[in-house]
Amino acid sequence: MQTEVLWSPNSSPQRMVLQLKPEDFFEVGYGGARGGGKTAAGIAWLLYDKDNPHLRALIIRKQSKDLNDWIDRARQIYEPLGAVIKGNPAEFHWPSGAIFRTGHLNDAGAYSAYVGHEYQRMLIEELNLIPSEENYLKLISSCRSTVAGLRPQVMSNFNPSDAGFYWIRKRFGLHGIPRKAITMADPSTGLRRIFIPALTRDNPALASDPQYNAFLNGLPDGLRQAWRDGSWDDPIIKGAYYANELDQARREGRLQRVPYDPRLKVHTVWDLGIDDAMSIGFWQHKQNYTALIDYYENENFGLDHYRAKLEEFARDKKYSYGKHFAPHDVNRRELSTGKTIIQLAAEIGLKFEKVPMVGVADGIQHVRLMFPRTHLSEPTCEQAVNAFRNYRREYDEELLKFKDTPVHDWSSHAADMLRYASLVEDEMTNEGDIPQVVIPPRPRESIYEGVEEDDGRHPMFRGVDIGKMGHEKAA
């Protein structure tokens, strides 16, 4: 009798990723171009130990609607093999006693919800949608095993796009268009990880689809290289609002580490989204420069979480806070409490100053006017810089031209924060009790010929060769 084949790998990358043993690699990254057969490989990857009664697997997707799509695809393979689907979120229960659980990250505290659990297998779909490495590490802390003979392993699939672009690129050592597997060991734990590149041509169904390929080929510059070719180079995106400003900032040495100046207040500028992503920019301002020295973004947390983050920064980084700015909609009322956001913030000790209400187009122009005197601390604000670079006009795929409105996506939160900062730049004053620190001048020639050392420039730029900053050892 002929055996029915429900699925088999159709490409070399799929076969490679399915042959990776947990004892060799704790983390498996599988990705690159869109349509490379990543989801199907993940569904099959989970099957290896389904007959072990102790196996517990967790499948995570960012959005609940995307999770439902994954469940529909998985059940086509799992149910004929004997799995029974139960509950909400869905669980696949196997005859052996093994259980595959699913979850999404839309709920408050979702990243911490699995702390203390034990999952020997963890599959994270569309890792590029997770905004920070910190959130990823919270998730994979639950991938562990106390079962003899069942080693833990995490598999993630992702594309070179969205909020996770930079931290994923750094974690897996990616650059350009990877042509072969990339391996490395974690410097802290020693655990090994591997990245397997996949391209659209590795998926026969899509490789032969003229409509899908026409879509990829018609994408704007930057997106086309990322989505079609799987490129991990810094994106050059047509329609991006601040691309020229960021390039100019890098040429002028304004896009690198900016240390905290303890003589200046740290002002925070917020983009509020209580049940969505919330972003906070940490700014310092004096006369002829404005510096974004730190950035924090998270999602699905209440205001108390962000207040705790402010306290953590003040304790660990010695920040002395000035004003806290929030957009005009801090006066809207929350349905659950009937109170405004500004009232809720006051109850936990946060006093917000309201940002003036200005149209988006005018706000973008304010940002462009502020940029020539703006310094961005790229190491601590990498996520924000990534968002600024990706903030772009909406592209009409039917008319093949850009609209006059920005795309509302993951990059909007940081970009909105930047826009609000440009509107309150002059209000970032330094009154109050600020610790005085005397920084002696460095014994080297200044690049500012004819400029006195007390001209109001940020102390970090006095007598410093900007072209070499970031390459010198700390004093």
Of 104-108, 123-127, 363-367, the least confident: 104-108
| Beta-bridge mates of residue 286 | 289
List pLDDT tens digits, range 40-64.
899 999 999 999 999 999 999 988 8
- pLDDT, average across residues 79-93: 95
Of 83-92, 325-334, 371-380, 459-468, the least confident: 459-468
Long-range CB pairs of 306-310 (<8 Å, 24+ gap) are: 306/270, 306/278, 306/280, 307/348, 307/349, 307/350, 309/280, 310/268, 310/280, 310/350
One-letter amino acid at 429 equals: T
Which residue in this structure is represented by tokens 């801090």? 330
Contact between residue 260 and residue 314 where contact means Cβ atoms under 8 Å apart:
no
For residue 84, pLDDT over 50 is answered with yes
Tell me the range of 400-409, 410-419, 449-458 where mean pLDDT is highest. 410-419
pLDDT at position 385 is: 93
Q: pLDDT band for position 221 (50/70/90)?
A: low
Which residue in this structure is represented by tokens 């006093």? 351
For residue 438, pLDDT over 50 is answered with no
Contact between residue 130 and residue 164 where contact means Cβ atoms under 8 Å apart:
yes
For residue 100, pLDDT over 50 is answered with yes
3-state secondary structure 377-398: CCCCCHHHHHHHHHCEEEEECC
C-alpha dist (Å) from residue 207 to 10, 200, 204: 12, 6, 5
For residue 443, pLDDT over 60 is answered with no
What is the token pair recorded at 266? Answer: 């740290």
Q: pLDDT band for position 219 (50/70/90)?
A: low
Coil, strand or helix at 475: coil
CATH topology of domain 22-219: Rossmann fold (3.40.50)
Q: How far apart (Å, rounded) are the C-alpha atoms in residues 125 and 235?
A: 22
Contact between residue 340 and residue 331 where contact means Cβ atoms under 8 Å apart:
yes
**321-326 and 192-198 strand pairing:** unpaired
Coil, strand or helix at 134: helix
Tell me the range of 229-233, 281-285, 340-344 where mean pLDDT is highest. 281-285
- pLDDT, average across residues 423-444: 65
Q: How far apart (Å, rounded) are the C-alpha atoms in residues 475 and 462?
A: 15
C-alpha dist (Å) from residue 328 to 304, 321, 365: 20, 21, 19
What is the token pair recorded at 146? Answer: 């106390």
For residue 465, pLDDT over 80 is answered with no
DSSP 328-341: GGGGSBPTTTS-BH
One-letter amino acid at 15 equals: R
Taking each helix axis as running N to C, give the angle between helix 243-251 and helix 382-390, from 0 to 180 degrees, rounded to the nearest 10. Answer: 130
Q: Domain residue spans in the chain?
A: 22-219, 243-427
For residue 139, pLDDT over 70 is answered with yes
3-state secondary structure 73-110: HHHHHHHHHCCEEECCCCEEECCCCCEEEEEECCCCCH
22-219 against 243-427: fold identical: no
- pLDDT, average across residues 243-265: 94
What is the token pair recorded at 200? Answer: 């659209």
Contact between residue 135 and residue 111 where contact means Cβ atoms under 8 Å apart:
yes
**266-271 and 321-326 strand pairing:** parallel
Contact between residue 293 and residue 318 where contact means Cβ atoms under 8 Å apart:
no
For residue 251, pLDDT over 80 is answered with yes
Q: Is the dihedral of CA 328, 330, 336, 337 positive or negative?
A: negative
Q: How far apart (Å, rounded) are the C-alpha atoms in residues 239 and 259?
A: 32
Q: How far apart (Å, rounded) are the C-alpha atoms in residues 132 and 62?
A: 13
For residue 212, pLDDT over 80 is answered with no
For residue 218, pLDDT over 60 is answered with yes
- pLDDT, average across residues 187-192: 94
**99-104 and 374-376 strand pairing:** unpaired
Coil, strand or helix at 30: strand
Q: pLDDT band for position 450 (50/70/90)?
A: very low
**Start-to-end C-alpha separation, the chain:** 75
Q: For the chain, what percent of residues have pLDDT higher than 90?
A: 51
CATH topology of domain 243-427: Nucleotidyltransferase; domain 5 (3.30.420)
Q: pLDDT band for position 472 (50/70/90)?
A: very low
If one compares 4 and 193, the residue with the highest pLDDT of the two is: 193
Which residue in this structure is represented by tokens 């983009």? 271
pLDDT at position 447 is: 31
What rounded mean pLDDT belongs to the chain?
A: 83
For residue 451, pLDDT over 60 is answered with no
Exposure class string for 18-56: b at 16+ Cβ within 10 A, else e: bebebeebbbbbbbbbbbbbbbbbbbbbbbebbebebbb
| Beta-bridge mates of residue 121 | 57, 153
List pLDDT tens digits, range 357-393.
999 999 999 999 999 999 999 889 988 998 999 898 8
Which residue in this structure is represented by tokens 């740290």? 266
Q: pLDDT band for position 437 (50/70/90)?
A: very low
For residue 287, pLDDT over 50 is answered with yes
DSSP state of 173: T
Q: pLDDT band for position 431 (50/70/90)?
A: confident
pLDDT at position 259 is: 94
Q: CA 239: distance to chain centroid?
A: 21
Q: For the chain, what percent of residues have pLDDT higher than 70?
A: 80
pLDDT at position 285 is: 95
Q: pLDDT band for position 263 (50/70/90)?
A: very high
